[in-house]
């Protein structure tokens, strides 16, 4: 097959980790007889510096005419500590999610047997953890009206959800649960929020269409606890945008390295694939960032094209690297470690 893939490296360590995902994807393409046409485009702080906005029209055109988007990371401390900044890198990411209709963010958390010891959690707590969050990505408080009044003394952010938005996300959740262990947890704060009550009543009404799926409803604060206590008690979790942001990051550290967790954002024909980790400006340009989450995001991309063998080839080589200690310093425990690009080279060669 022939693919056009928009390549949005973004900020911080983004360009370095993206380079490795490209190497590995090219090796997979070669092995399986595909042809990838990479189309680089600007985003984030890098785009603000170059053209004054974080998701330029040109980038959107490139994404729209591609089969998928592979994304690095976004964000820069220069903007974070200036609450009055008018343009910020994150706006690019949000604009892109909305413009591409990526309403479902798929964030798996799984463990690697060779890394169980690296987790902050005890081994017996995390063994067998294999859960997936479906985070709603184009609604809620991220996209509601926001602003100031009373001469800047009062700030507001509106959280809004429609039943249709909940339904399309929940549908993906039920479907995913059917392909797994048929357990679905709806995470909300229905004891306080009206939007959460809409989530809960909508999901409750859909239960009858999926009689085999066992649905539970938990408050977001309870889930924040249980994720640390018994992560392996969860399977598929669905939740709104902000809760998903917080809980998926919390879940990502369970695996022993937040450098390992990939994600997919779906909804329209064009999927976006990106690591869960951020732009880590402190590590940028040092060839020390762990590229595996981005490489695994490329695996999700192939799988989303229906190319399961290709995805598996990537997962297998990542596992092999972890077993053989071909890792960046975050996973090396003070022992031998490799640079970002050396890890990428090794993965590509061993595909």
Q: Which three-class secondary structure state does DSSP give residue 130? A: strand
Nearer to a second copy, 36 or 220 (CB): 220
Cα 232 from chain centre: 20
Single out the catalytic residue among 11, 23, 55, 142. Answer: 142
Chain residues 245-274 in contact with ligand IPM, contact rule CB under 6 A: 245
List the single partner that 164 binds among a second copy, ligand IPM, none, CB under 5 to 8 Å by kind.
a second copy
Nearer to a second copy, 16 or 218 (CB): 218
Q: Is 161 a catalytic residue?
A: no
Nearer to a second copy, 225 or 336 (CB): 225
- Can residue 299 be called a binding residue for a second copy (CB under 8 A)? no
Q: Which residues pair with 133 in a beta bridge?
A: 107, 237
Cβ neighbours of residue 268 under 8 Å, at least 6 residues apart? Answer: 100, 101, 102
Q: Is 67 a catalytic residue?
A: no
Single out the catalytic residue among 57, 221, 269, 333. Answer: 221
Q: Is 97 annotated as a binding residue?
A: yes
- Rounded Cα–Cα distance for residues 55 and 71 (Å): 12
- Rounded Cα–Cα distance for residues 95 and 74 (Å): 13
CB of 244 closer than 8 Å to CB of 227:
no
Q: Is 249 a catalytic residue?
A: yes
Chain residues 66-105 in contact with ligand IPM, contact rule CB under 6 A: 74-75, 90, 93
- Can residue 278 be called a binding residue for a second copy (CB under 8 A)? yes
Q: Is 245 annotated as a binding residue?
A: yes
- Min separation Cβ 75 and ligand IPM, Å: 5
Report residue 235: phi and psi, to 5°. -125, -90
Part of the chain binding a second copy (CB under 8 A), chosen from 38-46, 47-55, 226-234, 343-351: 226-234
Q: Is 82 annotated as a binding residue?
A: no
CB of 299 closer than 8 Å to CB of 311:
yes
CB of 186 closer than 8 Å to CB of 199:
yes
User: How, if at all, do strands 68-73 and 183-188 pair?
Assistant: unpaired
Q: Is 189 a catalytic residue?
A: yes
List the single partner that 195 binds among a second copy, ligand IPM, none, CB under 5 to 8 Å by kind.
a second copy
- DSSP symbol at 333: T
Q: Which two tokens stand for residue 10?
A: 């973004």
Q: Site for ligand IPM (CB under 6 A): which residue of 58, 221, 309, 349? A: 221
Q: Is 55 a catalytic residue?
A: no
* Sheet-wide strand order for 35-40: 35-40, 2-10, 68-73, 271-275, 262-266, 104-110, 130-136, 236-239, 183-188, 214-219
Nearer to ligand IPM, 37 or 191 (CB): 191
Tell which residue, 249, 242, 200, 250, has the closest CA to residue 225.
250
Single out the catalytic residue among 245, 280, 330, 338. Answer: 245
User: How, if at all, do strands 236-239 and 214-219 pair?
Assistant: unpaired
- Can residue 1 be called a binding residue for ligand IPM (CB under 6 A)? no
List the single partner that 60 binds among ligand IPM, a second copy, none, CB under 5 to 8 Å by kind.
none
Q: Is 249 annotated as a binding residue?
A: yes
Q: Site for ligand IPM (CB under 6 A): which residue of 192, 205, 225, 332? A: 192
The residue with tokens 């709104």 is 240
Q: Which three-class secondary structure state does DSSP give residue 120? A: coil
Residues 92-131: x where in contact with a second copy by CB under 8 A, - otherwise, as a string: --x-------------------------xxx--x------
Burial class, 71, CB count within 10 angstroms (exposed 0-12 / middle 13-18 / buried 19+):
buried
- Which residues of this chain interact with a second copy, rule CB under 8 A? 75, 79-81, 83-84, 88, 90, 94, 120-122, 125, 141-142, 144, 146-148, 150, 152-164, 189-195, 197-198, 200-201, 204, 217, 219-222, 224-225, 227-230, 242-243, 245-250, 252-254, 258, 278
Q: Which residues are annotated as a binding site?
A: 97, 107, 135, 221, 245, 249
Catalytic residues: 142, 189, 221, 245, 249
């Amino acid at each position: 097959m022939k693919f056009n893939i928009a390549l949005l490296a973004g900020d911080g360590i983004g360009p370095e980790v993206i380079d490795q995902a490209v190497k590995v994807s090219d090796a997979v393409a070669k092995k399986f007889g595909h042809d990838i046409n990479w189309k680089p485009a600007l985003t984030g702080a890098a785009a603000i510096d170059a053209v004054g906005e974080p998701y330029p029209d040109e980038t959107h055109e490139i994404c729209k005419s591609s089969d998928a988007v592979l994304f690095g990371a976004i964000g820069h401390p220069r903007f974070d500590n200036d609450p009055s900044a008018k343009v910020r890198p994150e706006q690019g990411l949000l604009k892109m999610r909305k413009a591409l209709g990526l309403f479902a963010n798929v964030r798996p958390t799984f463990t690697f047997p060779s890394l169980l010891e690296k987790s902050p959690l005890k081994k017996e707590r995390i063994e067998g953890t294999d859960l997936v969050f479906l985070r709603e990505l184009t609604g809620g408080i991220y996209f509601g009206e926001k602003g100031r009044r009373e001469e800047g003394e009062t700030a507001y952010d509106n959280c809004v959800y429609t039943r249709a938005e909940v339904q399309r996300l929940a549908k993906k959740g039920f479907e995913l649960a059917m392909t797994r262990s048929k357990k679905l947890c709806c995470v909300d704060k229905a004891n306080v929020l009206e939007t959460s009550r809409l989530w809960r009543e909508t999901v409750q009404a859909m239960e009858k269409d999926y009689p085999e799926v066992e649905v539970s409803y938990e408050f977001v604060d309870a889930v924040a606890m249980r994720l640390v206590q018994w992560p392996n008690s969860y399977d598929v979790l669905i939740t709104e945008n902000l809760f998903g942001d917080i809980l998926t990051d919390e879940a990502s550290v369970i695996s022993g390295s937040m450098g390992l967790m990939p994600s997919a954002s779906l909804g329209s024909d064009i999927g976006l694939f990106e690591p869960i980790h951020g732009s880590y400006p402190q590590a940028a340009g040092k060839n020390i960032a762990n590229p595996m989450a981005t490489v695994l995001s490329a695996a999700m991309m192939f799988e989303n094209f229906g190319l399961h063998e290709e995805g598996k080839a990537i997962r297998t080589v990542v596992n092999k690297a972890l077993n053989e200690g071909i890792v960046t310093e975050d996973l090396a425990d003070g022992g031998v470690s490799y640079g970002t690009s050396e890890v990428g080279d090794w993965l590509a060669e061993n595909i």
